[in-house]
Amino acid sequence: MTAPMPLLRVEGLSKTFRMYHLDAMLHAFEGVSFDLFKGEFLLLRGHNGAGKSTLLRTIWRSYRPVAGHVWYQSGLGDIDLANAADVDIALLRRREIGFVTQFLNARPRVAAQDIVAEPLLLAGYGQAEALEQARHWLDQFGVRPELWRAYPSTFSGGEQQKVNLARALILPQRLLLLDEPTASLDVGARAALVRRLRDLKSQGVAIIGVFHHPGDVAELIDREINLATRVVSEQTEREDHVAL
Amino acid sequence: MSMDLGLPALERAAPQLMRAEPILTMAGISRRYGDVTALRNVDVTVYPGEVMGIVGESGSGKSTLLRMMNLEDTPDSGDYRLRLPRRDDGNLFDLARYERRMLCARHIGIVYQNPHLGLLMRHSSSGNVAERLLVAGERSFEVLRGKAREALEASEFPLTRMDARPIELSGGMQQRVQLAKAIALEPALLLLDEPTTGLDVSVQALVLDTLKRLQRDRRITMVLVSHDLGVIRTMADRVMVMRHGEVVEEGLADQVFQDPQHAYTQQLVHAKL
């Protein structure tokens, strides 16, 4: 029997920032390799500055890697995210890969429910259905109905984060990247997030996450990778998935 | 002592997904005005439904490039093709003046920073929109009026003012009339030259939201020129950074802002308030 192909194979990925005004380079991480399978939840660990968020952003391609590959089994074909054309990355972001940060990037004068509904509208859902689902997820994450038509720029940090999560998780993806999504959430919203992630994981969504308090998602974690400065080490069971 | 900052070059010849062909392709566009080089060997590729942002300081060539896209000027060298249904015009710079005018009227919309460039200030707002439809051959008054109303409504212009002259309207309202005129014929390409510059911030937000909605609901492909990085960041999927008539960097909008590769782009991004 042949082993299943990973959804994501990261090979020798390195990121260095070149800072012209300092005439210097900043090494974030080097030679990171691991596999991620469908329905798997991978936790990234490491001290502040170890490069956890940078690794997520490099896979997402907000940051350009300087070496290595990120082989991704897309529904449209296999592709190396590290070297793919920008237009392909934009397409995958719309359809298959999600990124959740701890900050809402809200456009001015757009209501919370419209911000949340937008990914569905972009995916071709009708206005009424998109709005209904948006309200459902706002409700799930604990945003009060009187705020649904308000502009999130006036919300507290915690309320903004709930809107952010509802938007980011409304459309099931194949690969989900989570960058400290529980920061500034209350207990109810954290529980809603765990429920949603469990649901997505059971649907086969592969997840890589960075959490300030990993205990929030302890029940979901399949494996961990510890990022030290420029060194990567495997911590748990499946050693074959991480190469140094 | 200066450090060696050389980084290994990445292979960019990666496998491609089943994506659409580009709608706009420009190659090797160069233009000089006397001793001044306005554009030097510029290549542009824009895909259907995306917003391509162009940023750069004054005089970087971004508005000149937009005027080339609207066939208002001809470069010294270069090739420009639009992929339009059921037609192949070859290099659009080879078209005669009349053919250019017809092609632009039918397939390209433009919103200028200065509404005086895009509107007849002493004609009614609906008349301004209808004028675009007339150029494309529409003659029925009912159809002209109906389509003008529809375009104004899509641009979130209050229909109670549709017979007001642009000269009587605020800057934000004038931009909406320009937008209605630009989208009246459902163009393949919408060009936006600093569309929110000079508007107060609340009106700016409304215009940007209208543009975003049009892009989402009608899948209109847009090229947006702005020196306002906040506007570009809000609107654009991909970004080109221009300096001295050349493209110094191109990438996904978030990548260009978060991990700029070129020294000039870093300077530009770090200078943002």
Residue A239 has pLDDT above 50, yes or no: no
Q: What is the pLDDT of residue A216?
A: 86
Does A19 contact B261 at a Cβ distance shorter than 8 Å?
A: no
Collapsing DSSP states into helix, strand and coil, what is residue A97? strand
pLDDT at B3 over 90: no
The predicted complex's ipTM stands at: 0.85
CATH of domain A38-64+86-238: 3.40.50.300
Residue A2 scores a pLDDT above 70: no
- Which of A13, A25, A60, A64 is the best substitution to test chain B (most B C-beta atoms within 10 A)? A64
- pLDDT of res. A238: 39
Helix (H) or strand (E) holding B258: helix B253-258
C-alpha closest to that of B182 among B143, B215, B227: B215
The residue ranges of every structural domain in chain A are: 38-64+86-238
| Radius of gyration over every alpha carbon of chain B, rounded to an integer in angstroms | 19
Does residue B3 sit at the A interface (CB-CB below 8 Å)? yes
User: Nearest-CA neighbor of B189 among B63, B47, B92?
Assistant: B47
* Nearest-CB residue to B17 (from A19, A77, A110): A77
Give B20→chain A minimum CA distance, Å.
10
Among B14, B201, B206, the residue with its CB nearest the CB of A85 is: B14
| Residue numbers in B near A17 (CB within 8 A) | 259
> Rounded to whole angstroms, how far apart are CA atoms B22 and B223?
13
Three-state DSSP class for B195? coil
Pairing of strands A67-74, A8-19: antiparallel
Contact A36/A208 with Cβ under 8 angstroms? yes
Tens digit of pLDDT for each residue in B94-153? Answer: 999 999 998 998 899 999 989 999 999 999 999 999 998 888 788 889 999 999 999 999
Give percent of chain B above pLDDT 90: 66
Mapped onto helix, strand or coil, the DSSP state of residue B179 is helix
Amino acid letter, A15: K
**What would the mean pLDDT of A179-184 be, rounded to a whole number?**
86
What B29-36 contacts at long range (C-beta under 8 Å, 24+ apart), as own/partner pairs, is B29/B65, B29/B68, B29/B75, B29/B77, B29/B78, B29/B80, B30/B75, B30/B76, B30/B77, B30/B78, B31/B64, B31/B68, B31/B73, B31/B75, B31/B76, B31/B245, B32/B76
Interface A:B, Cβ pairs < 8 A: 109
- Residues for chain B: how many in total? 273
- Contact call for A87 and B238, based on CB within 8 A: yes
- A111 Cβ under 8 Å from any chain B Cβ: no
If DSSP codes are grouped into helix, strand and coil, which group holds residue B156?
A: coil
In this prediction, residue A37 carries a pLDDT of 97
Has residue B12 got a pLDDT over 70? no
CB of A150 less than 8 A from some CB of B? no
| pLDDT of B7 strictly over 50 | no
Mean per-residue pLDDT of chain A: 88
* pLDDT (mean) for A195-218: 93
The CA dihedral of A185, A189, A192, A198, to the nearest 10 degrees, is: 10
The domain made up of B24-115+189-270 has a fold known as Rossmann fold (3.40.50)
How large is the average pLDDT for residues B226-245?
A: 93
Mutate to test the interface with A, among B17, B43, B200, B228 (most CBs of A within 10 A): B17
DSSP per-residue codes, B14-62: ----SPPPPSEEEEEEEEEETTEEEEEEEEEEE-TT-EEEEE--TTSSH
Residue B49 has pLDDT above 60, yes or no: yes
pLDDT value at residue B137: 83
- What is the per-residue pLDDT across B238-269, written as a single tens digit (0 to 9) for each? 999 999 999 999 999 999 999 999 999 999 98
What is the pTM for the complete model shown? Answer: 0.87
Q: How far apart are CA A136 and CA A89, in angstroms?
A: 29
Tens digits of residue pLDDT in B25-40: 999 999 999 999 999 9
CA distance linking residue B268 with residue B55, whole number of Å: 9
The 10s digit of each residue's pLDDT in B158-200 is 999 999 999 999 998 999 999 999 999 889 999 999 998 878 8
